[in-house]
A and B are shown apart, each in its own frame.
Chain A
Amino acid sequence: MTADILIQVLVSGLLIGLIYALVAVGLTLIFGVMDIVNFAHGEFLMLGMYASFWAFALFAIDPIVALPLTALLLFAVGVIVYQTVIRRILKAPMLSQIFATFGLMILLRGLAQFFWKPDHRLIPHSLVSGNIALGPVQFGLPQFVAALGAVGVTGALWLFLHRTRLGTALEATAIDREAATLMGIDGQKMFALAWGIGAACAGLAGGLIATFFPIFPEVGSNFILIAFVVVVLGGFGSVTGAFLAGIIVGLIEVLGGFLVGPEYKTAIVLSLLLIVLLVRPRGLLGKA
């Protein structure tokens, strides 16, 4: 094995890792703010992909151009889901909460199958297509743009959480709901906001990968398992942690798959999950 191949593998791992990070960021945000695990998160990604697909198929809008629209749409979906489903189970036992989001996952998948058929679809001619070659290292422009977009969105989210009043309010709610309420922060509004932003992140990830990944109703299931590993590794609720963990998981998956054998790549990633849970249950940057 030459250094060229190693660099190539690392680049591929980094690119997919950044996408994992973006998917996981939304998941960890929702959990951080209200301690609810959203099993339907992969379906938000799926909806984001379909939003891009239909924008392209019906109105000839490129997925990259349609990104703000996709984000807005998924933000709305997140808020609606919060208002109709999640708000009612806030005080319910954890098992009910799990079943509620799990049921939502099945519902969204079923609806997508019913309305959009179980076919695999692709966006044939995106603005971003083709390859970039940097010496011996090759990568696809769509993958590169997607990774860049993931960095941008995660960065913007970080700035929002740490540098704006609204974001700080959200963080405050995450740290201590009751104290935040006493300070005049509307908890309900913050929860809705968290769901909106969380869904929008998944939607943006969907829109970004729609330029190169096949689109079908079950696509969320491919990503959700990895997103959970990323959230656990990064520490439940930590956006920065999820970002770093996404990159780590991407690198380990691709590098491990390459060195040990692709048939073990999922096993390698899931072993990582077990090790983290055993050695450092709060994850890299999680609060104890």
Chain B
Amino acid sequence: MRFAAAITEPTRTPTSMATANAPTRRQTIKRMLAAAALLTTTALTGIGFGATPAHAEDEIRIGVIYPLTGAAASTGVELKAAAELAAAIVNKEIPAPPGLVAGIGLPNLKGAKIKLIFGDHQGNPQVGATEAERLITSEKVVALTGAYFSNVTATASQVAERYGVPFLNGESSSASLTQRKFKWFFRTTPHDDLFVGNFFTFLGDMEKKTGDKLRSIALFNENTLWGNETTKLQVKLAEEQKFTIAEKILYPAKTTQMTSEVQRIKAAAPAVIMQSSYLGDAILSMKTYKELGFSPKMLLANDAGFNDSEFLKTMGKDGEFVISREVWALDQAERNPLIKQVNDLMQQRAGVNFNGNSARAFTGIAVLADALNRAGSTKPDAIREALQKTDIPASGLIMPWKGVKFDANGQNELGQGIIVQVQGGQYVTVWPFDVATKPVVYPMPAWDGR
């Protein structure tokens, strides 16, 4: 049935092009073909359905939508492996580390097993919606999860909302997703606004710890949508929490020099720089800081370029002491034995370590299974009610969160990001202090004092 999703794709481009001029004959034929293909698939689905009368009672079908082909396929495959590991633990196919919430299984459903039915959205919101529809109508899944890309999660969860099927999102961070007042949408991961908010909490904590004033900040963000949105939020939070913005720079991305930017920041002499840059600009700005001999007390980076695997590879020693945000870090395994044990299982099954994305995908399935068990039923209403009553403590998770508990919009209110610092060529967790593995190196050493 993957066929149906694939066939709608080529019609999309001609349709959008056709808005400029009337559809050509070729486009019309293409559309007719697509419509025919869709009809055929629907018919086939009906037949297929008749052939398998009912799904066995002890099999609970969950739809999982990820980018399994296309540009993000490598991530999608990792997410799939993490989801499968979670399902295997819930189904008690492999022994669970004690304490893990997924390890409880489904005793209230008389030991039923969950079955993951995968859909591939190819990074395309339209395909994501079609896949969600397929999983609900023809695969009869009781709940959906996915879809990694925020824009695909948006369309796929819309379909789930229409059909009244719970959609649990584990790894999309666009803040707007839980501002839609959906009834059937739940999200375990913290969202972008929360991550930016974390910076200010972190600065407050650092002030208490060091006795230094860190109230004067420079905002240094690139000028596309992401940088602009981040700036707006930072300005708002700074005002609310009584920070002064010493300098605010939205620089043109893809620039040949950043000396004017860095000079301005240097002249404003802030205690902290908050920077949002993609990789090329992140590298160039670090080079310029060094060239002009400028090191603030703290450089707080907003993920992206500064967390790219290429960043440390190219910067080497000059990348040291940068502080950035993360959703998860492998060094958490040192602190929490559960993380190490589950990571070992992932290593055995898939041969890779967990990362921020796959750890969140794993947690998504675990939270869904927990709700299913407490619901004791596969009725959508019962699952939704159980999800609303979710209250998982931090000790049952492999995430650096305070737990899982959904607010009225379906957002997990106990989620939090972590703050990492480059120390000895590694990103180590330095905040929140209760999950930190290393103390913060503060202030950032001057370039000539390294």
Contact = CB atoms under 8 A, between A and B. Distances in A.
B283 A214 contact: yes
B254 A262 contact: no
A143 B258 CA distance: 13
Contact of B259 (A16, A122, A131): A16
B280 A121 contact: no
Interface in B242-287: 249-252, 254-261, 263-264, 266-267, 279-280, 283-284, 287
Contacts of B447: 131
Given A8-B292, A214-B283, A262-B249, A253 B314 contact: no
A218 B303 CA distance: 22
B223 interface: yes
Contact of B314 (A13, A121, A254): A121
A9 B249 contact: no
Q: Which 10 A-B pairs have the closest CB atoms?
A: A257-B260, A140-B291, A12-B259, A122-B314, A262-B261, A258-B260, A214-B283, A16-B257, A138-B293, A263-B250
Contact of A122 (B251, B267, B283, B293): B283
A56 interface: no
Interface-central residue, A120, A131, A255, A265, by most chain B CB under 10 Å: A120
Contact of B280 (A124, A138, A214): A214
Contacts of A214: 279-280, 283-284, 314
Contact of A222 (B223, B249, B255): B255
Interface string B429-450: 0000000000000000001100
Nearest to A219: B280
Contacts of A222: 254-256
| Interface size, A (range) | 35 or more
B257 A263 contact: no
Contacts of A131: 290-291, 293, 447-448
| Interface size, B (range) | 20 to 34
Interface string A89-128: 0000000000000000000000000000001111010000
A261 B256 contact: no
A133 B291 CA distance: 10
Contact of A5 (B263, B279, B287, B291): B263
A262 B251 contact: yes
A226 interface: yes
A265 B291 contact: no
B59 interface: no
A216 interface: yes
Interface string A1-17: 10001001100110010
Nearest to B251: A262
B279 A120 contact: yes
B315 interface: yes
Given A8-B292, A138-B292, A254-B260, A263 B223 contact: yes
B407 interface: no
Contacts of B259: 9, 12-13, 16, 254
B316 interface: yes
B206 to A, nearest CB: 28
A108 to B, nearest CB: 18
Nearest to B291: A140
A257 B314 contact: no
B293 A265 contact: no
A258 to B, nearest CB: 4
Nearest to B292: A138
Nearest to A119: B310
A8 B290 CA distance: 14
Nearest to B259: A12
Given A5-B266, A12-B260, A254-B260, 5 more contacts: A5-B267, A20-B256, A138-B293, A213-B287, A262-B252
A238 to B, nearest CB: 22
A266 B252 contact: yes
Interface string B202-232: 0000000000000000000001000000000
Contacts of B260: 9, 12, 253-258, 262, 265
B249 A261 contact: yes
A9 B263 contact: yes
Contacts of A120: 279-280, 283, 310, 314
A1 B293 CA distance: 18
A262 B284 contact: no
A133 B293 contact: yes
A140 B250 CA distance: 24
A124 B316 contact: yes
Given A120-B279, A122-B315, A143 B261 contact: no
